[in-house]
Amino acid sequence: MSLNNSKLEEQIIASEVDQIVEKIGTSAGGVIPILHAIQKKYNYLPESVLRRVCEITDITPAAITGISTFYSQFRHTPIGEHIIRVCTGTACHVKGSEFVYETFCRELSIGEGQDTDPEGQFTLQKIACLGCCTIAPVVQIDDVTYGHVKSDGVSNILEDFLHQKSRSSEPSSDRKIDPDVGGEIKVGLGSCCIASGSSRVQQALESCFAETGVHTQVKRVGCVGMCHRTPLLEVCPPNEEPVLYDKVKPEDVKNIVLRHYKPKTLRQRIKNAAFNFIENIIVDSRSNGFTRHPIHVRDPKVEAFLGRQQHIATEHSGQLDPLDLEEYRSREGFKALEQCLTTLSPDEILDQIKTSGLRGRGGAGYPTGQKWEMTRQEKDDTKFIICNGDEGDPGAFMDRMILESYPFRVIEGMVIAACAIGAHEGYFYIRAEYPLAVQRVKAALKLCQESGLLGENILGSGVSLKLNIMEGAGAFVCGEETALIASIEGRRGNPSFRPPYPAQKGLWGHPTLVSNCETFATVPWIIRKGPEAFNAFGTKKSSGTKVFSLAGKIVRGGLIEVPMGITIQEIVEDIGGGIEDGREFKAVQIGGPSGGCVPAELAHTRVDFEDLTKVGAMMGSGGLLVLDDTDCMVDISRYFLTFTCNQSCGKCTFCRIGTKHMLHILEKICAGKGNQEDLKKLEEIARKTKQGSLCGLGKTAPNPVLTTLAYFKEEYEAHLNGICPAKRCKALITYSITDECIGCTICAQRCPTNSIPITPYNRHEINQETCTKCGTCRQVCPNEAVIVT
Amino acid sequence: MRDLQAGLSKRSCDSDMRSVKIKINNKEVTVPADSTILDAAGKLNIGIPTLCYLNGFERLTSCMICVVHEINSDRLIPSCSADVIEGMRIETDNEKVREARKDALDLLLSEHVGDCEAPCHRACPAHMNIPLMIRQIEEKRFEDAIITVKKDIALPAVLGRICHAPCEKGCRRKSYDSPVSICHLKRFVADVDLAQDSPYRPELKKRSGKKVAIVGAGPTGLSAAYYLLQNGHACFIYDQNPQPGGMLRYGVPDEKLPKSVLDLEIGRISELGAEFRMGHSLGKHIGIDELRHEYDAVVLAVGTVDPGMFENSEVELTNRGIKVNRKTFETAVPGVFAGGNAVGEARMAIRAAAHGKNIAYSASQFLRGLTVTGPSQRFNSVMGKIRDGEADEFMKEAGKHGQIIPEGGFENGYTDVEAMKESSRCFHCDCRKLDSCKLRQYSEEYSANQHRYKLNGRRKFERIIQHDQVIYEPGKCIKCGLCVQITRKAGEKLGLAFVNRGFDVRVETPFNEPLRQGLIKTAKKCIEACPTAALSWRDRS
């Protein structure tokens, strides 16, 4: 009987696998898409399925084993019904994601070494970075994202998720909106906005229309950049100045709509008046107040945020529907391409790019024109173009925003580049952690294809370009171009020695241009406005603008585009509005795990490729994380080394073993067990790893260590003496309650480990044995009676 | 960097295969443009160390041992992967290069889980290859076993009865039950040999024509003579006692060491040509100057030192005995060597005997006019203490039974069968590629230091035996991936695969299949290509 069952099961698997393979193909290069499809189907990669794949494709058992264990997206064991992903990106880390993770473990009774709760309902995972840094710490449950998560809010989140889930089974109304009312309401639908609840705001809008009879156009727009105020709702009534509402909650929507639009019928008007009356009372009675005050575009804070910015790659930010091709074209979209196809020769295109001084936006800043030229000069009929959207740096989300908000612009830049170098096929390589970006690019490609902007004979020019999407599978190292190519070819993402550069010998051995999304997004503007207009911005060696994701301990975080050469000070103080909670500005971490920490004393440093390298940091892809006096620099180093050590491909000796040693020493120091000899060794290994590693990952991995050692040596020294000046390293701090305690019991009620016995009206005490130093008590104490020493 | 790129665009302009001229260590060489620096160096017969490189295979660029210094760009680049570029200037062996190679080796060693020589081998003062002897016994190759023993111990039957056996204190088997009875096994080998009609007689080198005077016929003097004779030097042994043996004869009770055994083993030495001059005491009947005059070298193995012995000589003394160089055993007087108890630290007979062997080495260097260095110390990877669960890994190859007690009691020694059974208890901790491991070879060459960088806790030792011929010890793998490539190229159905990434990378058979399924046709090739002993022949011979 059971034999029959297993036979039947085998047959079912076989036919299911066969279907997947039929869709993707049997070539060895298709292994990653096949694994994605299998995981989507089975939630993990069952061995029997993998064996079947090997039987019917050119993929070998060794290849499928090697690849499925290399990329962290792939799982080999079954998971719970839902997946909880706790983001451990840099911004989330400094805002306490570790405690959030621990609290989930406790709430769900997930023991050490396990990842799924006993009921099999939730599987808990740490994830490198979800790219929602401005609303850190972030947690994603299936496709619902929660921002600003506090450890004591974990149970609420679980409850909310299960509640949402039961509700979402209701069919959503798919009503057509009567466009005649005039004006429009813009809803930001970048990932940050969605994570902060903008899709729920959108739903609230829909139901509000149904209820009030107000009909107006709801327009989804890409990222506005003001991620610190998401979700944003911009109401543009006909013939009136637009009004922007920030941090909108679904329950605010009706109020906002009724402020600007009058219901159509009398009956509804009366009803709504009553509603307004009651609603306002309810809202007013709430202590934390949900009423939203409109902010004017000329609000000084908004002006400060937007004023210094210069939008090139993010042109028309917050105005464009990411997938409205007509709108994009009406705003000069694809003009540059037309120009390139009709009036400019490939050499002239190349000249323009070279004159503009544009340098690669992905990190190292290699001159783009030179790269194009190298690829162009290669004699090969087959050339490829790749858009590198594998933004793996924790704390960076520029690529995600650009792909989500301006997919057409990136495509346009790619087609222009393809014209210049003579490529006819290309790829978008996009991180699997960015599903929305994948979805938007996919849709945009389809629209372009249908409009003759892609495919054979583009706009009748005779030029052809086919673009495909390749989804990454969770490997930071694949941002390195040779590793990225290996990944597209269906291999483990191991970098290889350059030269030969991809420009000479890239994808499948053919000349290949690999550039970052932002680089491509900048190209149309340069062609349209001329290279001089571009290099009018920026500095001599770093022309133009750069997009940064500004996050961390800052008042106004978000996606910003600024001229190169702006100082760190200007970004932090003017655009970012300074440090949140009135704390002290300590440092900025620029460039993520490849970059370094620039101390506040060096805030006058200009942000360009050369000056940042001079102070030991690196532009990287543009993550800019602001740190305050509560951030421990040794902990930051340890954080980044944990990351790079996890992400090293493991191929070369220095990176594989060197990063491990650095991490080991940093852990020792954070635990208060380090000595002078360790400090010496740490620096020594850092230098050797920098010198000896094969690729950029290993060569730059020591930067966070070296810069903190250079600028914050005294903090390391303090740790050797058992003191963590920022009071962050758990092993070196103690929480205690002072005489200020009024015995309100709140801390005792909220303590996740029950380490504070409830003693009403008496001073409470913390049981140090069981205290996990999560800091909840300190956060909730109304009388500041909890201190850290 | 700039030059490199200039060279590059030049190359890409004329992509036809042309030849390129570069300079390596200031020598010009012209090679095809698709050559690597390693290829070019090969053409000049310049050796560059490599671990992950194998001719005809994909460039791996994993180990980073092959780095060379490119002078124009002042960069260190991996020569196995870097193409030649016109005008390059390469140095393959300067200080920067040597340092980088040592760094890479230090890092590789910091995660290396395995011993080169076994702990018993290292612990033996005479440095006898114990695991080899044990395997020879187990395979009933007693005649080979005596060669192994006598290569380092001149008096094994004697020491087999009185040795303190520091080797057994290092034996890993004791973490499972009790150490292997190494000392008794050695005695067994020696007894079997002595019982033969014609016991083992080592080959003697051609006569050097040199004469050595050895003062003292105890374990040090006898051992020195045994090895000096093998090196072709004539030996004359002076002793104050009527019979040779020193403390062995006059200090050890007969029930522990029967005089007959001592006589037999001394007999083996006189048979090689040693001349005994008994009844001569130093300082009374003979003087050092006299001996120096008459002989080409002098060995002082006098046991307890009496200051009167060295009157009027230049031999320097300390309060413990004769002052010597601890490595070479040279005294203050050229050509005069001293060891054993006379230098104040060899109460243990095995240590005294070891001194004798080492003195023979140094004295031979002296007699041949070479720089006296003493025996060289080989590089040894040391795994350290055995952890929980690791004994089980070693037990995969070892007999499960406890110590074998000879039926006739230890005083009568093991029988053949008993010795073989006891031998089967050995863990064989020693590396199977002791002499062919490239990691060891380069570690020695570059004076690598395994303890320079330390991780908290090493990985667990594993010994995977899932193949009739192959042993896989993952802790010794340097992740070069040659075996992965070889199996792929050969079209193995399963082959070997890299699993995981970063520090957790390891090589495994796909789908957790046993190793034999992965290495159906490529076992030999993989073992030969493996630069360490991660993959090795199961059968040691």
| Mean pLDDT in residue range A238-265 | 76
pLDDT digits (tens, 9 = 90+) for A327-360: 999 999 999 999 999 999 999 999 999 999 999 9
Please report how many Cα atoms fall inside a 13 Å half-sphere around the Cα of residue B425, on the Cβ side: 24
Dihedral of CA atoms A218, A220, A224, A227 in degrees, nearest 10, equals 100
Per-residue HEC secondary structure of A26-86 comes to: CCHHHHHHHHHHHHHHHCCCCHHHHHHHHHHCCCCHHHHHHHHHHCCCCCCCCCCCEEEEE
Which of B316 and B483 is assigned the larger pLDDT?
B483
What are the DSSP E strand ranges found in A170-283?
Answer: 184-188, 217-221, 233-236, 243-245
How distant is the alpha carbon of residue A609 from its chain centre? 22
pLDDT, tens digit, 9 for 90 and up, residues A553-592? 998 888 899 999 999 999 999 998 999 888 999 999 998 8
Q: What is the mean pLDDT of chain A?
A: 87
Which architecture does CATH list for B211-367?
A: 3-Layer(bba) Sandwich (3.50)
Whether residue A535 contacts residue A523, with contact meaning beta carbons closer than 8 Å, is answered with no
Q: Which residues of A touch B488 (CB under 8 A)?
A: 60, 62
pLDDT single digits (tens) B274-315: 999 999 988 888 988 899 999 999 999 999 888 788 877 788
Q: Given this model, what pLDDT does residue A273 score?
A: 53
The Cα–Cα gap between A392 and A567 comes to 25
Q: Is the predicted pLDDT of residue B210 greater than 70, yes or no?
A: yes
Q: Which residue type sits at B278?
A: M
Confidence of residue A285 (pLDDT cuts 50, 70, 90): very low
pLDDT confidence of residue B68: 97
With 0-12 CB in 10 A as exposed, 13-18 as middle and 19+ as buried, what is A59?
buried
| A3-40 exposure pattern, b = at least 16 Cβ within 10 A, e = fewer | eeeeeeeeeebeebbeebbeebeeeebbbbbbbbbbbe
Question: Cα(A47)–Cα(A45) distance, rounded to whole angstroms?
Answer: 6
Q: Among residues 58-87 of chain A, which lie with CB inside 8 Å of chain B? A: 60-66, 69-70
The predicted structure's pLDDT at residue A12:
85
Please determine, for residue B246, whether its predicted confidence score (pLDDT) is greater than 60: yes
Question: Nearest Cα to A59, choosing from A13, A23, A21?
Answer: A21
CA–CA distance, A402 with A389 (Å, rounded to integer): 9
Top mean pLDDT of A147-156, A575-584, A707-716 is at: A707-716
Where does the pLDDT of residue B4 fall: very low under 50, low under 70, confident under 90, or very high at 90 and above? very low
pLDDT at position A299, please?
A: 63
Quote the CA–CA distance of A556 and A552 in Å, as a whole number. 9
Helix (H) or strand (E) holding B278: strand B275-278
pLDDT at A660: 97
Where is mean pLDDT largest: A87-101, A668-682, B375-389? A668-682
Q: What pTM did the predictor assign? A: 0.89
Going through A574-619 in order, the beta strands assigned E by DSSP cover 585-590, 596-599
Asked whether residue A291 carries a pLDDT value surpassing 60, the answer given is no
Read off the amino acid at residue B529: A
How far apart are the CA of A569 and the nearest CA of chain B, in angstroms?
32
Give the architecture-level CATH label for domain B2-93.
Answer: Roll (3.10)
Q: Tell whether A47 is within 8 A of chain B (Cβ).
A: yes
Cβ–Cβ of A653/B60 closer than 8 Å? Answer: no
Nearest to A46 by CA among A35, A60, A57: A35
Q: pLDDT class for B7, splitting at 50, 70, 90?
A: very low
Scanning A553-572 for CB atoms below 8 A from B yields: none
Cβ contact (<8 Å) for A497 and B81?
yes
pLDDT at A294: 55
Instruction: Provide the b/e sequence for B428-449 (b: ≥16 CB within 10 Å).
Output: bbbbbbbebbbbbebbbebebe
Neighbours of A138 (CB within 10 A): 31
pLDDT the model gives residue B346: 60
ipTM of the shown complex: 0.89
Angle at A391 between CA A591 and CA A431, to 5 degrees: 160
pLDDT band at A298 (very low <50, low <70, confident <90, very high): low
Backbone angles phi, psi at B519, to 5 degrees: -115, 65
φ/ψ (deg, to 5) at A217: -75, 125
Contact A51 B511 (CB under 8 A): yes
Task: Give the C-alpha separation, B357 to B350, whole Å.
Answer: 11
What pLDDT, in 10s, does the model give residues A76-93?
Answer: 998 888 999 998 888 888
Nearest-angstrom CA–CA distance, A537 and A565 = 9
Who contacts A655 (Cβ-Cβ below 8 Å, separation ≥6)?
A: A648, A649, A689, A693, A694, A695, A697, A698, A701
Is the pLDDT at A175 greater than 70, yes or no? no
Residue B333: pLDDT over 80: yes
The whole-number pLDDT of residue A423 equals: 96
Q: What pLDDT does B352 receive?
A: 94
Q: How confident is the model at residue A268 (pLDDT cuts 50, 70, 90)?
A: low
Would you say how long chain A is, in residues?
789
Measure the CA–CA gap between A604 and B175, rounded to whole angstroms.
Answer: 63
Question: In chain B, what are the domain boundaries?
Answer: 2-93, 119-199+388-423, 211-367, 460-537
Q: Which residues of A touch B62 (CB under 8 A)?
A: 651-653
Whether a cis peptide bond, with omega within 30° of 0, leads into B375 is no
**H or E element that contains B302:** none
At A211, is the pLDDT very low, low, confident or very high (cuts 50, 70, 90)? confident
The pLDDT, as a whole number, for residue A287 is 29
Query: Tokens 């260095």 correspond to what residue?
Result: B373
Q: What is the mean pLDDT of chain B?
A: 93
Tokens of B75: 């960069």
Cα dihedral A149, A154, A157, A158, rounded to 10, equals: 150
Share of chain B above pLDDT 90, in %: 85
Q: How far apart are CA A359 and CA A371, in angstroms?
A: 9
What is the least distance, in Å, from the CA of B368 to any CA of chain A? 44
Which site among B3, B485, B503 would you substitute to test the A interface, given the most A Cβ atoms closer than 10 Å to its Cβ? B503
Please report which helix (H) or strand (E) contains residue A446, including its range: helix A435-450
CB B111 within 8 A of CB B455: yes
Using pLDDT thresholds of 50, 70 and 90, give the confidence band for residue A182. low
Structure confidence at residue A396 (pLDDT): 83
Q: Is the pLDDT of residue A289 over 60?
A: no
- Facing residues of A145 across strands? A140
Residues A471, A437: Cα–Cα separation, whole Å: 10
Q: In whole angstroms, what is the distance from residue B395 CA to residue B463 CA?
A: 10
User: What does the radius of gyration of chain A's CA atoms come to, in whole angstroms?
Assistant: 27
- pLDDT for B27 equals 96
Does A70 contact B479 at a Cβ distance shorter than 8 Å? no
Output the pLDDT for position B362. Answer: 97
| Other C-beta atoms lying within 10 Å of the C-beta of residue A156 | 12
Share of chain B above pLDDT 70, in %: 96
What is the share, in percent, of chain A residues with pLDDT greater than 70? 91
The continuous run of DSSP H or E covering A426 comes out as strand A425-430
Peptide bond just before A760 cis, omega within 30 deg: no
**What is chain B's alpha carbon radius of gyration, rounded to the nearest angstrom?**
28
Q: What is the pLDDT of residue A393?
A: 83
Beta bridge partners of A182: none
In tens, the pLDDT along A419-432 reads 999 999 999 999 98
B89-91 and B75-78 as β-strands: parallel, antiparallel, unpaired? unpaired
For residues B4-27, give the mean pLDDT. Answer: 66
How many angstroms separate the CA atoms of A245 and A185, rounded?
A: 11
- A66 to chain B, minimum CA–CA distance in Å? 5
Q: What phi and psi, each to the nearest 5 degrees, are found at residue B28?
A: -80, 145
Instruction: Say yes or no: domain B119-199+388-423 is CATH 3.30.980.10.
Output: no
For residue A693, the SS3 value is coil
**Which pLDDT value is given to residue A264?**
61
| Cβ separation A660–B487 shorter than 8 A | no
**For residues B88 and B25, is the Cβ–Cβ distance under 8 A?**
no
Task: Check if A460 contacts B (Cβ < 8 Å).
Answer: no
How many CB atoms lie under 10 A from the CB of residue B239? 27
Q: Which of B100, B456, B499 sits opposite A65 (nearest CB)?
A: B499
Gap between the Cα atoms of A306 and A293, Å rounded:
19
Q: Which parts of B111-203 fold into alpha helices (H)? A: 119-123, 130-138, 142-150, 156-162, 166-170, 182-194
> CB–CB of B510 and A649 under 8 A?
no
SS3 call for A196: coil
A361: distance to nearest CA of chain B, Å?
20
The domain B460-537 is placed in CATH, from the list 3.40.640.10, 3.30.465.10, 3.30.70.20, 3.40.190.10, at: 3.30.70.20
Per the listing, tokens 């503007």 go with A525
The mean-pLDDT minimum among A74-78, A236-240, B151-155, B183-187 falls in A236-240
Average pLDDT (A744-760) is 90
The pLDDT of B243-259, averaged and rounded, is 94
Q: Which residue from A65, A657, A691 is facing B511, i.e. has the nearest CB?
A: A65
